[in-house]
């Protein structure tokens, strides 16, 4: 990914610059060299697609568990690694009786906190009395790729035109569930556990692009309906 390459090159440039400034190398090989990251558009589910995944009847229990984990991530912003390691100890109840996930990202170690929205609350209730080993919330088995293979079956039964991955649930939380509903960017960044708000701004750009495309389509449609006298 371009963003990952950019981040790696920034670290390498810092190392060579430090070596040059300390006289360990004769010249900085990256002097005057710049790389601008080009982030690919993150795929996410629309509200209707997410509802289809929630409502679909599935042929077996294991596929249903994987669907529920996907939906839970779509309403909490958790990644695959985060939902796999999620325990009941990570679910905290405040003075108003509302539940919050307070944990650290598996990937970065950054703390995040997110309130359980009604759909996530219902899913938590569905699994909270299973008494799984390690106090885990979801009985997930297999690897990241195994889960994604299972989600292909979910997509087929739900009538989706593409195969979602578990990471698309996190993208869906950032776009469909929060930013497009008016949740401030800073709040979304905290809930996602991003170290830098610039990472979250990628999602904001996606929603702005979509608004532009939707309005362009609307303008074309309205041009065929309404006419102003010259």
Instruction: Assess contact for 171 and 44: CB atoms under 8 A.
Output: yes
Query: Looking at residue 38, what is its pLDDT?
Result: 55
Instruction: Assess contact for 140 and 147: CB atoms under 8 A.
Output: yes
pLDDT mean across residues, the chain: 88
The model carries a pTM of 0.75
CA distances for 190 relative to 3, 61, 99, 186, 197, angstroms: 20, 34, 17, 6, 9
Query: Looking at residue 2, what is its pLDDT?
Result: 46
Tokens read off for 225: 């309906």
Residue 1 has pLDDT above 70, yes or no: no
| pLDDT-derived band at 3, boundaries 50, 70, 90 | low
Query: Looking at residue 205, what is its pLDDT?
Result: 78
Quick: pLDDT tens for 78-126.
999 999 999 999 999 999 999 999 988 877 778 889 999 999 999 999 9
Range 20-38 average pLDDT: 79
Q: Is 214 exposed, middle or buried (0-12, 13-18, 19+ CB in 10 A)?
A: exposed
Domain spanning 47-211, CATH architecture? Orthogonal Bundle (1.10)
CA distances for 112 relative to 42, 185, 188, angstroms: 21, 14, 10
Query: Looking at residue 4, what is its pLDDT?
Result: 60
Supply the Cα-derived Rg of the chain in whole angstroms.
22
User: What percent of the chain clears pLDDT 70, i.e. is strictly above it?
Assistant: 93
Quick: pLDDT tens for 32-73.
777 665 555 578 999 999 999 999 999 899 999 999 999 999
Quick: pLDDT tens for 130-185.
888 889 999 998 899 999 999 999 999 999 999 999 999 999 999 999 998 889 99
- Write out the residue limits of the CATH 1.10.443.10 domain(s) in the chain: 47-211
Query: Looking at residue 40, what is its pLDDT?
Result: 54
Range 192-221 average pLDDT: 84
Query: Looking at residue 36, what is its pLDDT?
Result: 64
Residue 209 has pLDDT above 80, yes or no: no
Query: Looking at residue 122, what is its pLDDT?
Result: 96
Cα–Cα nearest to 125, from 137, 109, 112: 137
Residue 206 has pLDDT above 90, yes or no: no
Could you give the angle at the alpha carbon of 183 between the alpha carbons of 182 and 189, nearest 5°? Answer: 140
Distance CA 214, CA 194 (A): 28
CA distances for 81 relative to 84, 106, 133, 147, angstroms: 5, 6, 17, 12
């Amino acid at each position: 990914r371009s963003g990952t390459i950019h981040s790696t090159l920034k670290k390498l440039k810092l190392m060579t610059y430090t070596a040059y400034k300390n006289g360990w190398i004769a010249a900085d090989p990256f002097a005057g060299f710049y790389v601008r990251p080009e982030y690919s558009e993150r795929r996410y589910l629309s509200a209707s697609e997410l509802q289809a995944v929630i409502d679909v009847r599935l042929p077996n229990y294991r596929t249903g568990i994987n669907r529920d984990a996907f939906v839970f991530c779509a309403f909490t912003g958790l990644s695959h690694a985060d939902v796999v390691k999620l325990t009941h100890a990570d679910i905290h109840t405040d003075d108003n009786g509302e539940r919050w996930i307070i944990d650290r990202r598996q990937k970065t170690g950054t703390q995040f906190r997110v309130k359980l929205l009604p759909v996530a609350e219902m899913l938590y209730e569905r699994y909270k009395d299973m008494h799984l080993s390690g106090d885990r919330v979801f009985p997930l088995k297999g690897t990241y790729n195994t889960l994604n293979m299972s989600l292909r079956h979910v997509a087929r039964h739900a009538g989706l035109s593409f195969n979602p991955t578990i990471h698309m649930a996190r993208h869906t939380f950032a776009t469909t569930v929060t930013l497009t509903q008016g949740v401030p960017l800073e709040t979304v960044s905290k809930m996602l556990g991003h170290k830098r708000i610039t990472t979250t701004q990628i999602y904001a750009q996606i929603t702005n692009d979509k608004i532009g495309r939707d309005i362009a389509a609307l303008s074309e449609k309205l041009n065929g309906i309404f006419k102003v006298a010259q």
